[in-house]
Amino acid sequence: MTIDHVAIWTSQLERLKDYYIRYFNGRANKKYLNKEKHFESYFVSFDSGTRLELMQMPGIPENLNDPVEKQYQGIIHISFGMGTMDLVNEKFNELKNDGFKILKGPRKTGDGYWEFETLDPDNNRIEVSAIFAE
């Protein structure tokens, strides 16, 4: 069994799609549009086969979860495995240099990963990690 996709509501569909394409090598399908409901979406696919469904529709309220200080129950982050610590460090530098907020790291975690935490353009928490190799 695999996780097929995770869905994210957004108010900036194109910007979020472009972020996952640029920084995580995603590939987007043709935009789906339901004119009656004013619903738009993309599926962004990754080499692993996992996908993100990015969705936009008027009337969806903003998320009240604070991704930095106080988190609440529910899905709280997406993690991208980079394969090596060097690739994690490269992604860290790329995102930091492009002005994205870094929450923690890069650092060795207690459970054996080399990772950093950041936020996407909608303030969804992203972890970028690899198994720690000494």
The CATH number of 5-56 is which of 3.10.180.10, 3.40.50.150, 3.90.1170.50, 1.10.150.120? 3.10.180.10
∠72-9-81 over CA atoms, to 5°?
A: 70
- Alpha helix stretches (DSSP H) within 60-107: 85-97
| Angle of CA points 25, 74, 122, to nearest 5° | 45
Determine contact, residues 102/88, Cβ cutoff 8 Å.
Answer: no
Per-domain residue ranges of the chain: 5-56, 77-131
| Predicted local distance difference test score (pLDDT) of residue 126 | 96
Assess whether the region 5-56 and the region 77-131 belong to the same CATH fold: yes
Task: Provide the pLDDT for residue 68.
Answer: 79
CATH number corresponding to 77-131 = 3.10.180.10
**Per-residue pLDDT for the chain (134 aa), expressed as one digit of tens each?**
788 999 999 999 999 999 999 999 999 999 999 999 999 999 999 999 999 999 999 999 988 878 778 877 788 899 999 999 999 999 999 999 999 999 999 999 999 999 999 999 999 999 999 998 87
